[in-house]
């Protein structure tokens, strides 16, 4: 899958303003979107955990949260590289960057608390809170960061490339989730 992603990025269409640098945008945004999708799904499933106290579902949600959080962090890190290349500098004071940094810090704190308690319902509430924090932090005003240059582009090729990359990164995230879940099951079976 990584080879397919690399090939697609190498063959992706340039953009009028950014030229070939749009490839950095394709990659960092689609990885962040895959992470946000996973964290949102985990938050929604946390409602089920709150209502039913299903321990096995909570374990799966925690795997999903870790994998999706990793995608979010990688996507944010790549956004710093993209900013340096496209804008010439990294501005951590930009509201979008501050929002992402806040999500990373708060998520780590919530994961620490989640992993230190036994109550399945409280773990579910933490998962739901994480989703709320994520979406609240991403609704900040944009100063340097454009709102949505890909989907507002008039080029169908740019939009299609972006959407295909998003699907591929989401599938990669799902595969990684499957690997993490299987590894956890193996470890529990031998313990």
Whether 149 has a pLDDT exceeding 70, the answer reads: no
Give the domain extent around 84.
Answer: 20-190
User: What's the rounded Cα separation, in Å, for the pair 73 and 105?
Assistant: 11
Residue 12 inside a domain? The answer is no
Q: pLDDT band at residue 87, thresholds of 50, 70 and 90?
A: confident
Of 66, 84, 73, residue with least CA distance to 32: 73
Residue 15 inside a domain? The answer is no
Residue 71 inside a domain? The answer is yes
User: What's the rounded Cα separation, in Å, for the pair 61 and 128?
Assistant: 11
Q: What is the average per-residue pLDDT within 179-183?
A: 96
User: What's the rounded Cα separation, in Å, for the pair 54 and 2?
Assistant: 34
Q: What is the pLDDT of residue 145?
A: 65
Whether 148 has a pLDDT exceeding 80, the answer reads: no
Contacts with 86 (C-beta within 8 Å, 6 or more apart), sequence order:
18, 21, 24, 25
Residue 7 inside a domain? The answer is no
Q: What is the average per-residue pLDDT within 33-59?
A: 97
Residue 91 inside a domain? The answer is yes
Q: What is the pLDDT of residue 170?
A: 98
Q: What is the average per-residue pLDDT within 105-120?
A: 96
What is the number of domains present in the chain?
1
């Amino acid at each position: 899958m990584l080879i397919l992603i690399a090939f697609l990025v190498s063959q992706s269409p340039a953009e009028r303003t950014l030229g070939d640098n749009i490839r950095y945008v394709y990659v960092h945004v689609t990885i962040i979107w895959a992470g946000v999708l996973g964290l949102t799904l985990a938050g929604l499933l946390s409602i089920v955990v709150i209502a039913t106290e299903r321990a096995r579902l909570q374990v799966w949600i925690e795997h999903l949260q870790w994998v999706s959080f990793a995608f979010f962090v990688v996507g944010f890190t790549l956004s710093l590289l993209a900013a340096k290349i496209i804008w010439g500098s990294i501005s951590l004071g930009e509201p979008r960057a501050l929002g992402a940094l806040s999500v990373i810090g708060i998520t780590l704190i919530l994961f620490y608390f989640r992993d230190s308690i036994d109550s399945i319902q409280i773990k579910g509430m933490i998962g739901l809170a994480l989703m709320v924090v994520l979406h609240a932090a991403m609704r900040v005003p944009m100063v340097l960061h454009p709102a949505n240059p890909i989907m507002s582009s008039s080029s169908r090729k740019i939009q299609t490339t972006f959407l295909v990359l998003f699907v591929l990164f989401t599938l990669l995230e799902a595969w990684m989730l499957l690997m993490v879940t299987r590894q956890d099951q193996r470890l529990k079976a031998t313990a």
